[in-house]
Chains A and B, each alone.
Chain A
Amino acid sequence: MKNKKNSVLVLGAGIAGIQASLDLAEMGVEVHLIEDTPTIGGRMPQLDKTFPTNDCSMCILSPKMSECARHPLITIHIMSALKEISGDPGNFICRVIERAKYVDPVKCVSCGLCEAKCPVKIDDEFDMGLRKTRAISRYFLQSIPSEYTINPRHCLYLTKGVCKLCEKVCPTGAINYEDKDKEIDISVGAVILATGIDPFNPIGFGQYGYHRYSNVVTSLEFERMLSASGPFGGHIVRASDDQPPKKLAFIQCVGSRDEGIDKNYCSSACCMFAIKQSIIAKEHSRDLEASIFYMDIRAFGKDFDKYYDKAENHYGVKFKRSKIADITELPDGCLELKYTYENGDIQREVFDLVVLSTGFQPRQGSRELSENLDFRLNRFGFCHSDTFHPQETTRKGVFVCGAMNSPKDIPESVVSASGAVAGAVKLLDPGRHDVSTGEKEIKEKDVVGERPRVGVFVCHCGINIAGVVDVKNVAEMAKGLKNVEHSEDVMYACSTDCLEIIKERIEEHDLNRVVVAACTPRTHEPLFRDTISAAGLNPYLFEMANIRDQCSWAHMNEPEKATAKSRDLVEMAVSKARSLTPLKRLPIAIDPEALIIGGGLAGMTCALAIADAGHDVFLVEKENVFGGNMRDIFFNPDGSDPQQFLAETIEKVENHSGIRVFLNSTIEEIAGYVGNFRTMFTNGSGQQEELTHGVVVVATGGQEHKTTEYLYDESSRVITQKEFEAMLHDEKFPPGKLREVVFVQCVGSREEGRMYCSRVCCSKAVKNARQLQHKKAKANIYFAYRDVRTYGFSEQYYSELRDSGALFFRYTPGNKPEVEKIDPDDPDSRIRVTLFDPVLEKDVVIDADLLVLATAIDPLEENLRLAKMLKIPLNSDGLFLEAHVKLRPVDFATDGIFVCGLAHSPKDMGESIAQAKAAGSRALTFLKKRSILAEGTIAEVRTDRCSGCGYCEDVCAYAAIEIDLEEGVAVINDALCKGCGACVASCRCGALDLRGFTNEQLFSVFDSLEIEAVEGIL
């Protein structure tokens, strides 16, 4: 391929698009992130909490959003659309339409005066129409970019030629009614699509009365109602009377699992979503009653079943397996639900509020997009992709991630995004790069030993601050503070001309510390740091006083007190600034090779992803063959051949010049840290070998649970699902006829000792049952299950099986199927299975020719050894525990170590492939750098004070501190320290300190107001 472009276009800036952009940018690839709405973030900002940890959604997302906005290689195009892709993979031209924003983002300071004055009220899309916004607005409070935009469909001036109020009040002249749509061509090497989904719209879905009954809401509307930043400030009230509901009903599968509307797929996330909402609602008000009406609870993800259990048994959420027949509205606005249990019992119950758990559907305009960009959709209108290539569309060089190609929850979207990046990066040639240390070659002034000379700049922010705080007074006061050489008030500290002023003042007054009193350091500190850096000061010699977000805006009616507070805040900032010291971010060299532990499907896929991107891989497998658990998989529901794919993969791995394979090999010891690992292992010939490498991927896999239940050890007619698949493949059926076949699900899963769902067994059993029907047309199939968890598109195969006459019997843990040999002395005897039929409410007896057990997937025992070696955690089930279950699903907290495949949790082939590619991608974000920079604000040790007690080591979540037992002192690994300071506060000896937040600096802040405070009392 000639002229490889080192850039990618990402369409859609939800969590998937953001993750893909960040991964690419970290690899040194230029990214154009195209987003339809005025902000990046997608659906996640609308969520209050996330399951199964109840993490605050915005808390975990906003750092990623800001990172995206700040990254020099990412260009965000909001209010934009991708119209056409021409050219070839590696060399595309993308035509992008950027819609007019009517506000100049360079001039806009996001003060909000325009919105306050805008007379046009419109439904707030972000808040699902539960609140009004204006024609000029920000999409939501923490939007990125934060600048305002005008909605041209509603703006009075743009529609009727009158008003212009926003132009009048705008203090910076940012309004531009003449703004026009622009068409631009962007040339890129690959395209990643991540446009997400739409929630199913139940309007016109008569039976539930949505929009007819005011107290019937969708789950996303309810999420906004739960949110503290939502339209009701986190108070759940119903629309009809503004009263908090006492009884809540959640109705599952609205717009999912419904053949009637051609949505014969499961949306995969709604069960957990409803469970989460019921828990949060109960947390809002303990006496609230919540019921979930469902067909099957599909809590199939890692730690999901524990969450389900907690909802039911700790929070008392009621789970009602039933079908809703009808909803009627009562005169008081309450809703009467008529529902039928599986035994036919009809119940009526009145609820205050009904939440429809609406499913996912393809985005509006998907069809048009697929035609414009020339890729195929599947039968449900989602983007088509296949099991073995989960992130590839039918157009080469165009990849897909997020829920666009199948319903996904957040971590799966993140995984698929990183996975798509692995595909895209193959078409590019980013090479290795150095992380810039500030690139501009400005010589840094040496300020060590100099007396502090502080410059203070107090920002008016137009009238945002100055309208409340007496800015001049604050600036004047600052002049009198110790070590302050210069102080002035400025109109907009962040404006280009003011940044120039700051640089000039540094020069003029020979300043060596700078304090800006303005808005929040969370958004503006990087900008000011860059500025002083450009003037030759170390960027860490900067401090901010937040006198807008945390002062003038919060005390708008108390100007004097706000001024007093601002003075204090400035004084505190100056106190800290005085003792600031220059910090360096030290480079850490990165070895370009990767070690992958485990040569199953995940390990091999990951190895190929990394090697195809030009990095050497060491692939270590303990067995004498590659393939792991995949060697036992022979069928795929879509008809493709797993064994053929496996053989091709092994061949690719073995013939790849960048992959060194080590079979029959055992890891003995892994030492080192990100970029610099050293591994000892015993190779196939029993010799010790050493490898050095920059990253580690744990892909050790899992194993089938060995059961003793259901006569497994005693009868040849009782086999596991895995054995059954081999039987189907080899067509070696037991002697005699094969008429009655019973499947038992959840053998070992979801019960004491293994409180998790093994995720794949339902789909696998359905797949094998269909194979059996194919090969033995006369076989009768009986399916004993607890919940059928054929999530995603597997649902269609389940309903096909059901339609084909297979009989399904639900059982409970207290009423498991009973089995006995008809002839106890004959090992080949047929098996008598007694099943309780909850529909008929009586036992059903089947004399089975074959009993197939869906046994659980177990973690490997040796996980523990590896976990200790790498200092990475396992969860209570013995599965490797990732850094963050939502947003860092393949990373460990310790940098440079990644996980994929069954070692992480049970998953199917497609999911293992996606995750393996994701792990490869994440690994490449390190490998593509020749060096990374350690954080500037990290902990340091004064060894003369350290007594080596090890508390710091214990409290460090990143394995960044170790006690050197020889010397008896703590040693910090600069490469791993994230600068939280937990170790520092846990050190009684005062041996640790946190650069940038040292004890000295903080003490001086606590003491800064001392004199005044005492005077205040006198």
Chain B
Amino acid sequence: MNTTNELRKNIKSLIAEKKVDLFLGWEKGSLPLAATPLFVTAEDQADKAIFDVTCGNNLSIYFTKDKKQFEGRKVGIAVKGCDARSVVLNILEKQIKRENVVIVGLPCNGVLDRKKVLAKTDGREVLELIDNGDTVIVKGNGFDLQLNREEVLSSSCLACIYPDAQEYDFFIGEARGEVPNEGRLKEIEEFQTLSSLERWEQTRAEYEKCIRCYACRNVCPSCYCNVCFVDQNDPRWIGGTSEYTDTLIFHVIRNLHVAGRCVECGACQRACPMDINLLMLNRKVAMEVKDRFGDIAGLDINGKPAMSDFKEDEKQKFIMG
């Protein structure tokens, strides 16, 4: 809990020294599985801040989805590895100025996927959670389970390479360094060995589940258009039905819209009520972007987002000879 204490100290001094007008962190949620966002504007509020396995929220979404609030204010923000990449993208995409944000970087050990925990408790509500590192203990009415961390972490965390914030003004805690996570793409690689028809059938089955609730988009730190293309009617970009071609086109285009911008935080998948394996597409796109353009979303604050850039001599084997 050292990290949490240090974080609180850090927030206090930032507020006290007027380096920020507002600090975005997490506090304990009303339910133990998910911390809720904390807005600190006075020193004494800093003691509510926490940092643990429940801090799944990517706080950078406030920069884009609640832009007005931040105008003219200096903002501090606590970030995990993926969150930091979102902040970098927000800066590159002119949503916030670097000089107006104080980034407090944290080393992340992964965040919980609520749905995975509830699967273990058979849907029974968790009333207490203890994070023991390798294991997580969840307690509720009539149960007390010790769960392996891997079993309940968000899929995105299990494939994460950059758990530490890479861009920060202060770094709190002990950096974990890059995690090789070999085999992180195993699922994708296996999928790619299937025949075209098999892939199609699996994809179709997966996306036929979609009910077009747009939860994936709403939680996505990279989705911040004023009006999402699916909601535009003049002209209508794609059909609004949950017929699978409309649905699939929505997801493909959404993935292209976040190409080079998706930080693979997994928020979409955690939010999906239909349990669609959304990361299968995101990761594939990120993989292509990295292989082809050498770009990893949000790592380089001096770079350009992949899809706003080009090089003359890029690989183009996919072009007909």
A–B contact, 8 Å CB criterion (strictly below): yes
* Chain A residues at the B interface, C-beta cutoff of 8 Å: 944-951, 954-955, 963, 965, 968, 986, 988-991, 998-1000, 1003-1004
Give the CA-CA distance A968 to B226 in the complex, in Å: 12
B226 touching A954 by the CB < 8 A rule?
no
Secondary structure call for the A interface: loop
B229 touching A988 by the CB < 8 A rule?
yes
B95 touching A955 by the CB < 8 A rule?
no
Binary per-residue interface labels of chain B (217-240) against chain A in the complex, 1 for a CB within 8 Å, 0 otherwise: 000000011110100101111000
Contacts of A954 in B (CB 8 A): 304, 308-309
Contacts of A947 in B (CB 8 A): 64, 93, 95, 224-226
Is B307 in the interface zone, CB < 8 Å from A?
yes
Least Cβ–Cβ distance between B297 and chain A, in angstroms: 13
Give the CA-CA distance A706 to B286 in the complex, in Å: 46
Give the CA-CA distance A523 to B276 in the complex, in Å: 52
Contacts of B304 in A (CB 8 A): 954
A990 touching B305 by the CB < 8 A rule?
no
Binary per-residue interface labels of chain B (235-252) against chain A in the complex, 1 for a CB within 8 Å, 0 otherwise: 111000000000000000
Binary per-residue interface labels of chain B (252-287) against chain A in the complex, 1 for a CB within 8 Å, 0 otherwise: 000001000000000000000000000000000000
Least Cβ–Cβ distance between B313 and chain A, in angstroms: 11
* A954-B304, A965-B94 known, 6 other contacts, Cβ within 8 Å: A968-B95, A986-B308, A989-B226, A999-B235, A1003-B237, A1004-B235
Least Cβ–Cβ distance between B110 and chain A, in angstroms: 30
Least Cβ–Cβ distance between B109 and chain A, in angstroms: 32
A988 touching B225 by the CB < 8 A rule?
yes
Give the CA-CA distance A946 to B224 in the complex, in Å: 10
Give the CA-CA distance A335 to B305 in the complex, in Å: 55
Contacts of B226 in A (CB 8 A): 944-947, 989, 991
Give the CA-CA distance A954 to B95 in the complex, in Å: 15
Give the CA-CA distance A948 to B63 in the complex, in Å: 13
* Contact A990/B237 with A954-B304, A954-B308, A955-B308 known, Cβ cut-off 8 Å: yes
Contacts of A950 in B (CB 8 A): 93-94, 308
Give the CA-CA distance A816 to B307 in the complex, in Å: 46
Least Cβ–Cβ distance between A835 and chain B, in angstroms: 39
A989 touching B227 by the CB < 8 A rule?
yes
Least Cβ–Cβ distance between A765 and chain B, in angstroms: 35
Give the CA-CA distance A946 to B308 in the complex, in Å: 16
Is B73 in the interface zone, CB < 8 Å from A?
no
A945 touching B94 by the CB < 8 A rule?
no
A945 touching B225 by the CB < 8 A rule?
yes
Is B199 in the interface zone, CB < 8 Å from A?
no
Give the CA-CA distance A998 to B310 in the complex, in Å: 24
B305 touching A951 by the CB < 8 A rule?
yes
B305 touching A989 by the CB < 8 A rule?
no
A948 touching B94 by the CB < 8 A rule?
yes
14 contacts between A and B (CB under 8 A): A945-B227, A945-B232, A947-B95, A949-B95, A950-B93, A950-B94, A954-B308, A968-B95, A989-B225, A990-B225, A990-B227, A990-B232, A1003-B235, A1003-B237
B234 touching A1000 by the CB < 8 A rule?
yes
Least Cβ–Cβ distance between A949 and chain B, in angstroms: 4
Secondary structure call for the B interface: loop
Give the CA-CA distance A991 to B227 in the complex, in Å: 9
Interface size on B, residues (CB 8 A): 22
Contacts of B225 in A (CB 8 A): 945, 947, 988-990
Binary per-residue interface labels of chain B (12-54) against chain A in the complex, 1 for a CB within 8 Å, 0 otherwise: 0000000000000000000000000000000000000000000
Is B67 in the interface zone, CB < 8 Å from A?
yes
B309 touching A963 by the CB < 8 A rule?
no
Closest to B257 in A: A988
Closest to B256 in A: A988
A949 touching B93 by the CB < 8 A rule?
yes
Binary per-residue interface labels of chain B (289-313) against chain A in the complex, 1 for a CB within 8 Å, 0 otherwise: 0000000000000001101111000
Contacts of B64 in A (CB 8 A): 947
Least Cβ–Cβ distance between A555 and chain B, in angstroms: 21
Closest to B64 in A: A947
Give the CA-CA distance A421 to B94 in the complex, in Å: 45
A1000 touching B235 by the CB < 8 A rule?
yes
Contacts of B308 in A (CB 8 A): 950-951, 954-955, 986
Contacts of A949 in B (CB 8 A): 93-95
Least Cβ–Cβ distance between A984 and chain B, in angstroms: 13
Give the CA-CA distance A409 to B12 in the complex, in Å: 69
Among A944, A965, A988, A1000, chain B packs the most CB atoms within 10 A around the CB of: A988
Contacts of A945 in B (CB 8 A): 225-227, 232
Least Cβ–Cβ distance between A539 and chain B, in angstroms: 24
* Contact A951/B307 with A988-B257, A990-B232, A1000-B235 known, Cβ cut-off 8 Å: yes
Give the CA-CA distance A955 to B307 in the complex, in Å: 9
Among B64, B94, B236, B304, chain A packs the most CB atoms within 10 A around the CB of: B94
Q: Of the candidates B67, B257, B309, which one forms a contact with A968 in the assembled complex, judged by CB atoms under 8 Å apart?
A: B67
Closest to A1003 in B: B235
Contacts of B235 in A (CB 8 A): 998-1000, 1003-1004
Contacts of B67 in A (CB 8 A): 968
Closest to A946 in B: B226
Closest to B236 in A: A1003
Give the CA-CA distance A794 to B308 in the complex, in Å: 47
Give the CA-CA distance A963 to B94 in the complex, in Å: 9
B95 touching A986 by the CB < 8 A rule?
no
Closest to B92 in A: A950
Contacts of B232 in A (CB 8 A): 945, 990
Give the CA-CA distance A738 to B26 in the complex, in Å: 83
Give the CA-CA distance A31 to B229 in the complex, in Å: 51
Contacts of B224 in A (CB 8 A): 947
| List of 8 A-B pairs having minimum Cβ-Cβ separation, nearest first | A954-B308, A1000-B235, A989-B225, A949-B93, A951-B308, A988-B257, A950-B94, A990-B232
Closest to B258 in A: A988
Contacts of A989 in B (CB 8 A): 225-227, 229
Contacts of B257 in A (CB 8 A): 988
Closest to B223 in A: A988
Contacts of A986 in B (CB 8 A): 307-308
Contacts of A955 in B (CB 8 A): 308, 310
Least Cβ–Cβ distance between B272 and chain A, in angstroms: 21
Contacts of A946 in B (CB 8 A): 226
Give the CA-CA distance A988 to B223 in the complex, in Å: 9
Closest to A963 in B: B94
Give the CA-CA distance A949 to B235 in the complex, in Å: 22
Least Cβ–Cβ distance between A963 and chain B, in angstroms: 6
Least Cβ–Cβ distance between A27 and chain B, in angstroms: 35
Contacts of B234 in A (CB 8 A): 1000
Give the CA-CA distance A366 to B26 in the complex, in Å: 85
Give the CA-CA distance A963 to B237 in the complex, in Å: 25
Among A949, A963, A968, A998, chain B packs the most CB atoms within 10 A around the CB of: A949
Least Cβ–Cβ distance between A408 and chain B, in angstroms: 27
Closest to A950 in B: B94
Closest to B260 in A: A951
A948 touching B95 by the CB < 8 A rule?
yes
Give the CA-CA distance A950 to B94 in the complex, in Å: 7
Least Cβ–Cβ distance between A397 and chain B, in angstroms: 45
Contacts of B236 in A (CB 8 A): 1003
Contacts of A991 in B (CB 8 A): 226
Give the CA-CA distance A945 to B309 in the complex, in Å: 22
Give the CA-CA distance A73 to B224 in the complex, in Å: 51
* Contact A968/B94 with A954-B308, A990-B237, A1000-B235 known, Cβ cut-off 8 Å: yes
> Which residues of chain B from 38 to 80 have any CB-CB distance to chain A below 8 Å in the complex?
64, 67
Closest to B94 in A: A950
Give the CA-CA distance A488 to B244 in the complex, in Å: 42
Contacts of A998 in B (CB 8 A): 235
Binary per-residue interface labels of chain B (70-106) against chain A in the complex, 1 for a CB within 8 Å, 0 otherwise: 0000000000000000000000011100000000000
Give the CA-CA distance A999 to B93 in the complex, in Å: 24
Least Cβ–Cβ distance between B43 and chain A, in angstroms: 32
Give the CA-CA distance A949 to B90 in the complex, in Å: 8
Give the CA-CA distance A340 to B82 in the complex, in Å: 66
Least Cβ–Cβ distance between A855 and chain B, in angstroms: 31
Closest to B254 in A: A988
Give the CA-CA distance A877 to B227 in the complex, in Å: 44
